[in-house]
Amino acid sequence: MLRRLTWADVDSLVELDGDPEVMRFLTNGKPTPRETVVEVLPRLLGEYDSGFGRWAAIEGGVFVGWLGLRAGGELGYRLRRAVWGRGLATEGSRGVVAYAFGELGVPRVWGQTMAVNVASRRVLAKAGLRYVRTFHEVFDDPIDGTEFGEVEYAVTRDEWRSGLRGQSWGVCGGGVEQVGADGVVQADGVEGVGG
């Protein structure tokens, strides 16, 4: 179940962002300080007025993370390690994509992650997005794997409606990437299956 975030979620958000494995590909495992969560939350709550936002993922009455859609169609998610590998990110992301196209009428939904974050790439592919490109950003404090770049996945409203979602072939770096229906990712010599 997804619901709007509230001020009552501050402790859960701090706990989520305090797990080094959850934050591994975002901050190299550094936790988000409580003060930052409290500072950012009003902006997140204000996004609901436009139809966008981050929604708390609830399983069995317990906060297990969030899924979100930013203006511009960017899909995002962050879940507790305890629920990784159970399909919740994929299921929730599919729901957010359907909402983006069906309710908001956005023309394109996209997401990005580090090229080495195989689990997140698998979620994006299984949610119906296809590989678009690999690109490199410059960071002041790069984390392990930054040298392989970031990857972008996307699906347009027309592709989604016609059932082309999830077909993912593309050229990345110097190699060919394929994300099959089983979620196996092969790209530039990196192969793996995410959870």
Model confidence pLDDT, tens digit, residues 4-63: 999 999 999 999 999 999 999 999 999 999 999 999 999 999 999 999 999 999 999 999
- Report the alpha-carbon distance of residue 25 to residue 150 in Å, rounded: 11
Domain boundary among 106, 131, 161: 106
Q: Domain residues for 155? A: 111-195
* Alpha-carbon span 169 to 123, nearest angstrom: 16
pLDDT in tens, 124-134: 999 999 999 99
The structure's pTM equals: 0.83
CB 70 within 8 A of CB 52: yes
Residues 193 and 132 in one domain: yes
- Residues 136 and 122 grouped into a single domain: yes
CA distances from 94 to 20, 69, 77, 101 (A): 26, 12, 11, 11
CATH number at residue 99: 3.40.630.30
Does one domain contain both 6 and 57?
yes
Same domain assignment for residues 101 and 7: yes
Same domain, yes or no: 124 and 100: no
Q: Which of 106, 125, 142 is the last residue of a domain?
A: 106
Q: For residues 8 and 101, state if they share a domain.
A: yes
- Confidence class for position 93, pLDDT limits 50, 70, 90: very high
Rounded CA-CA distance 195/38 in Å is 30
Number of domain units in the chain: 2
